[in-house]
């Protein structure tokens, strides 16, 4: 389990799994958290789901898990207790205190069946105490079926089960007397009515044999149909400001559900619902279909958000190239940029860092020019103890806030310093990493020298910059002597002390400010300080 996903799906029933599948197949990172109590679990078999009719309910979900695993979707056993908006997404809290972040949420938490208060009834639920003619009516066809009247749906239920058996009896229990029209309808179909309160069930050898009335009379039945109250709300939904509201069916109270549009979008931007939580009458295949639809809607919403973000990058690139670049070496310039609203960087680690550091055994790392903390957080998540340095206090504040959200405060120290006038402790770090630090060479060379000195024996120096050759592309670069090649930096390292591992101009696809594809190059230098003392740090992770 990572701690950031495109989508967290809460609930691993047919709705949640289908949504997760659609999202995974759209290359979205998805986490499913499931408390493992699907609504139909008490039933021995499921019905009316093509391909699975007559199979145990667990078979459908087991097949779903296998399919999700093939797409790398983790399904975590647990309960989501709350979720709250955070930035452009949500922070989701699990019952064990773990938090994960998600850009979007799909809540497929099902509903709770509140059963009538009759002793012994909950124990038989889903077996011979039933509610749904399509789920298990066929299995009791032709038998003696009781229908417990607890509300206005009783006549409707009795008529549906009458289609399956001529032996249907309505137990009026504590419901209001049926009106003359209802009595006539029930009588016309040969449905019997028994007055008196039901006080319990008769069970012989784990089979329902009758309904006991308060008078002591026992009426033989082999199945009892009830009308639970369907409750789609939960504290999790409340935590998001999404209370379930009363829903009617045929003008009669049906239960509580969370309102949503036909694609599952709720009143809270970024939150979708699918399945019984919003559609109390949805059966398995309908819940699955709704999950698929909501997954597709979420993907479309993320596509739109990604496009908006890409356009914003182009706009900021254009704005960037209109800046007076001679100011870009001043802290004030960056301070202003980081104080303006909106993230400047993607929040993702630099690609070269992810490619070149992923296999190092974590130790201490110095991230120079740490900006909004994308690299530092990525390193800390992988177990590095990180020092992030930047001369813009506003950048450090943004980075520290991200670290706090990710629960990484203990793993990162933020240092407010101008690295051109700051000397890191010598031989201190197992990794010193600087990406896209550009400044006049007379300042850059001594800085790189100090950064190299800070690398511990056996440690790694990773320096990455825009290659001077990029000036020949349509990617605008300031016309200043601030770029360097990896070869130029490698030449400054003493071969007696350094093993040069990578020195190259690494191509990278990019988009220029006009939205045109362009291949640019990164100058990449990775060098290891020779020394046997810490050579163990070079072990690669298996």
Ligand X SMILES: Cc1cc2nc3c(=O)[nH]c(=O)nc-3n(C[C@H](O)[C@H](O)[C@H](O)COP(=O)(O)OP(=O)(O)OC[C@H]3O[C@@H](n4cnc5c(N)ncnc54)[C@H](O)[C@@H]3O)c2cc1C
Considering only 28, 39, 103, 411, the residue that binds ligand X (CB under 6 A) is: 39
Q: Is 115 in the site for ligand X (CB under 6 A)?
A: no
CB of 81 to ligand X, least distance (A): 7
Euclidean distance between CA atoms 114 and 109, whole angstroms: 15
Q: What is the DSSP letter of 464?
A: E
Residues in the chain: 542
Q: Which stretch binds ligand X (CB under 6 A): 32-40, 146-154, 205-213, 324-332?
A: 32-40
- Cα–Cα distances (Å) from 281 to 152, 239, 243, 249, in that order, read 16, 24, 18, 9
Q: Does 273 help bind ligand X (rule: CB under 6 A)? A: no
For residues 278 and 55, give the distance between their C-alpha atoms in angstroms, rounded to a whole number. 26
Three-state secondary structure call for residue 157? helix
Decide if residue 511 touches ligand X (CB under 6 A). no
Q: What are the helix (H) ranges across 323-440? A: 331-339, 351-357, 374-381, 393-405
239 scored as a contact of ligand X (CB under 6 A): no
The piece of 278-286, 333-341, 394-402, 468-476 that touches ligand X (CB under 6 A) is: 278-286
Cα–Cα distance for residue pair 485/504, rounded to 1 Å: 8
Out of 26, 48, 98, 99, which residue is the one contacting ligand X (CB under 6 A)? Answer: 48
| Closest approach of ligand X to the CB of residue 281, in Å | 8
Q: What does DSSP assign to residue 228?
A: P
**Could you tell me if 132 and 48 are in contact, meaning their C-beta atoms sit under 8 angstroms apart?**
no
Give the span between the Cα atoms of 149 and 176, in whole angstroms: 9
CB of 12 to ligand X, least distance (A): 5
Measured between alpha carbons, how far is 490 from 493 in angstroms, rounded to an integer? 5
The residues in 440-469 that bind ligand X, with binding defined as CB under 6 A, are none
Binding status of residue 36 toward ligand X by CB under 6 A: yes
* 232 sits near ligand X (criterion: CB under 6 A): no
CA distance 83 to 98: 12
Helix 57-70 and helix 14-24, axial crossing angle in degrees, nearest 10: 20
Can residue 178 be called a binding residue for ligand X (CB under 6 A)? no
238 Cβ contact partners less than 8 Å away, ≥ 6 residues apart: none
- Binding-site residue total for ligand X (CB under 6 A)? 39
User: Is 37 an interacting residue with respect to ligand X (CB under 6 A)?
Assistant: yes
Query: Whose Cβ is closer to ligand X: residue 43's or residue 463's?
Result: 43
Site for ligand X in 285-324 (CB under 6 A): 285, 287
Among 25, 26, 29, 42, binds ligand X (CB under 6 A): 42
Of residues 237 and 389, the one with the C-beta less far from ligand X:
237
Residue number with CB closer to ligand X (41 or 303): 41
Interface pick for ligand X out of 80, 105, 273, 298 (rule CB under 6 A) = 80
Residue 173 interacts with ligand X (CB under 6 A): yes or no = no
Residue 133 near ligand X by CB under 6 A: no
In the set 4, 6, 8, 12, which binds ligand X (CB under 6 A)? 12
Single residue of 146, 275, 363, 458 touching ligand X by CB under 6 A: 275
236 touches ligand X by CB under 6 A: yes
110 binds ligand X (CB under 6 A): yes
Whole-angstrom distance, CA of residue 532 vs CA of residue 368: 26
Measure the CA–CA gap between 233 and 359, rounded to whole angstroms: 46
- Closest by Cα among 122, 21, 115, 10 to 64: 21
Say if residues 470 and 483 touch (Cβ distance below 8 Å): yes
Closest Cα to residue 38, out of 20, 60, 55? Answer: 60
266 binds ligand X (CB under 6 A): no
Positions touching ligand X (CB under 6 A) are 10-16, 33-40, 42-43, 46-49, 79-80, 108-110, 113, 126, 132, 135, 234, 236, 275-276, 282-285, 287
């Amino acid at each position: 389990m990572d701690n950031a996903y495109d989508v967290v799906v809460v609930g691993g029933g047919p709705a949640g799994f289908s949504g997760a599948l659609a999202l995974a197949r759209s290359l979205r990172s998805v986490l499913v958290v499931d408390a493992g109590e699907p609504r139909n679990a008490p039933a021995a078999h499921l019905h009316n789901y093509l391909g699975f009719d007559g199979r145990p309910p667990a078979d459908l979900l087991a097949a779903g898990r296998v399919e999700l695993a093939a797409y790398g979707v983790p399904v975590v056993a647990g309960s989501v207790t709350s979720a709250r908006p955070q930035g452009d997404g949500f922070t989701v809290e699990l019952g064990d205190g773990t938090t994960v972040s998600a850009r979007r949420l799909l809540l497929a938490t099902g509903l709770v069946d509140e059963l009538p208060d009759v002793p012994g009834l909950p124990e038989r639920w889903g077996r011979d105490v039933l509610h749904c003619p399509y789920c298990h009516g066929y299995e009791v066809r032709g038998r003696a079926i009781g229908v417990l009247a607890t509300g206005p749906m009783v006549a409707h239920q009795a008529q549906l089960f009458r289609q399956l058996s001529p032996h249907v009896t309505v137990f009026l229990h504590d419901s209001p007397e049926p009106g003359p029209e209802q009595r006539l309808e029930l009588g016309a179909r040969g449905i019997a009515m028994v007055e008196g309160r039901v006080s319990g069930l008769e069970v012989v050898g784990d089979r329902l044999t009758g309904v006991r009335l308060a008078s002591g009379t026992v009426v033989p039945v082999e199945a009892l149909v009830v009308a639970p109250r369907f409750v789609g709300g939960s504290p999790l939904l409340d935590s998001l400001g999404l209370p379930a509201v009363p829903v009617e069916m045929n003008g009669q109270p049906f239960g509580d559900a969370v309102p949503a549009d036909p694609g599952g979008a709720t009143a809270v931007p970024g939150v979708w619902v699918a399945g019984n939580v919003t559609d109390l009458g949805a059966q398995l295949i309908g819940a699955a279909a709704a999950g698929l639809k909501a997954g597709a809607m979420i993907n479309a919403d993320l596509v739109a958000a990604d496009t908006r973000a890409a356009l914003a990058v182009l706009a900021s690139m254009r704005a960037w190239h209109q800046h007076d670049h001679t100011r870009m070496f001043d802290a004030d310039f960056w301070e202003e940029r980081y104080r303006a609203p909106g993230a400047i960087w993607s929040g993702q680690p630099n690609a070269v860092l992810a490619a070149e550091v992923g296999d190092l055994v974590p130790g201490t790392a110095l991230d120079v020019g740490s900006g909004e903390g994308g690299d530092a957080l990525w390193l800390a998540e992988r177990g590095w103890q990180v020092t992030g340095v930047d001369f813009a206090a506003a950048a450090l504040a943004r980075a520290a806030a991200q670290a706090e959200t990710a629960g990484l405060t203990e793993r990162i120290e933020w240092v407010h310093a101008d690295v051109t006038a700051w000397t890191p402790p010598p031989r201190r770090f197992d990794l010193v990493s600087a990406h896209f630090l550009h400044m006049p060479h007379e300042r850059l060379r001594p800085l790189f020298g100090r950064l190299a000195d800070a690398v511990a024996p056996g440690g790694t120096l990773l320096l990455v910059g825009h290659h001077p050759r990029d000036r020949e592309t349509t990617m605008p670069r300031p016309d200043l002597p601030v770029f360097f090649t990896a070869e130029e930096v490698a030449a400054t390292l003493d071969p007696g002390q350094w093993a040069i591992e990578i020195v190259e101009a690494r191509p990278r696809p990019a988009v220029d400010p006009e939205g045109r594809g362009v291949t640019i190059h990164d100058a990449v230098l990775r060098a290891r300080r020779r020394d046997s003392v810490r050579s163990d740090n070079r072990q690669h992770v298996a």
